[in-house]
Structure 1
Amino acid sequence: MTKVAIITGISSGMGKASALYFKSKGFEVYGGARRVERLKDLNEQAIHTQALDVTDKISVRSLVDRVVSEQSRIDVLINNAGYGEYGPLEEVPIENAKKQFDVNLFGVGQITQYVLPIMRRQKSGRIINISSIGADVYSPLGGWYHATKASLNMWSDVLDSEVKRFGIRSVVVQPGITKSEWSKIAFENARKNLKENSPYEELINKVENLFNQIGSGATSEDLAKIFYQAATDKNPKRRYYNSVMDHGMVLIAKKMPNTYRKVLTRLIK
């Protein structure tokens, strides 16, 4: 029996790499993104694509209904769509913060609500929630982003406690900094969110320089393999990390918060 996966946010980065990797492993892959012009090459690889806005109920319902109509089952849902609404908390417009939650958390909840009845009927399924080490590790300017990812982790854990009895599991993947467009977009948003003559402009430069010094770690293809592991492990873990370093940073931030704060302060003085 061919397994079926839905992946959100497949126009680039981890989402695109995952769509290709799951297809190479024999899955029927469905997914979408707002930037439909970027989906053509995925169509050519026999991946089923369509326009998808995770904050639009009609758009989400259309994708799920199509999968059920054509495949009659959904084995894996990868909630990958997301972005970083960076900027100083004093200045990020609240409507932008709400949009961050709409995409990174409530959009996840919406598509999951549509998928769960199908998985319960099957008595099996895996929900993979793409969070970030930024759910535990933080930096200035990322307040709203970090809040969405911390919320996603808790939401996933609660969901897992509710649906495990039906043969469904909900797990979290926490990537670190990756070789993608994510940081570029996050700092573009940070500058857009600055007010005129903002006292935080220098801070944005310092934090962006810090990110550049840290450099990029995993490739999208590396993360696709972690997504696949999370989707196919017989006994799934609560959290998946790409590297020991990513996991270590989370442990330090959680177990030694004062030390983490001191190091962070020193790095951005």
Structure 2
Amino acid sequence: MAELPPIEAPTVSAVYAALQHNRRDEDRGYLGMSQFGTECDRALWYGWRKVHDPEPLDGRRIRLFETGHLEEGRLIGDLRSAGMVVADADPRTGRQFGVWSIGGHLRGHLDGQIDGVPDAPKTMHVLECKTHNDRSFKALLKDGVAKSKPGHVSQMQFYMHFTGLTRALYVAVNKNDDQLYAERVRYDATAALQLVARAERIIRADQPPAKLHDDPSAKAAFACGWCPARTVCHDGAWARVNCRTCLHATPVVDESDAGR
């Protein structure tokens, strides 16, 4: 007889249910700079055009994302306690540092800017904080951020490009044992411009880009398995009905108002 899975405690179920009830599903009105970890332009285009519903999150995953946000503040406090100067809010707005382009249709939000980094104390850096599970953290230690998390490097390249800073400090924590990792990343103008050009192609496209894989069950198409656009892309589901899925929709690019 197969072993039955453990029954979730009513207290845990109540907490998860409350988290789901109180959370509003994220339906971004822009293409996020943090989304470029995927090679699939089609997936980015579907999300940008709001073709599919926002990815639903259960209570456990909501807590997981909240842990990441809480850890950012803790890491910033640790950096400050070590004598580094961290600005986690734009003094002009009092809110998180934000960058945008292509009429505001492409946006990103920095964890902060940091000065006094021991490796280069006179250089202002973009600050990017991330949490990792044990397996991901070990890959980071072994291979560095560029190989183990290329999407995180893309994110930092965007931020450096639009802030004019030439260095980023990547700080990561292992959620299993609190081990820390830090790496400085150099601005790469060619890579940044390629990312901006890619974003503009996606934003201005009036048709979905080509599929990376025709068969989502193929071994090489493993990412299709958890892609929120799979039902539309591969399974024949209808797109959501909204202004962005209208055949006549065209993005308005006005660099003077950030797309508002």
TM-score for both structures, normalised by structure 2: 0.25
Larger radius of gyration: 2
Q: TM-score scaled to structure 1, two decimals?
A: 0.25
Structure possessing the higher relative contact order (Cα contacts under 8 Å, 6 or more residues apart):
2
Q: Which structure dedicates a bigger proportion of its chain to helix?
A: 1
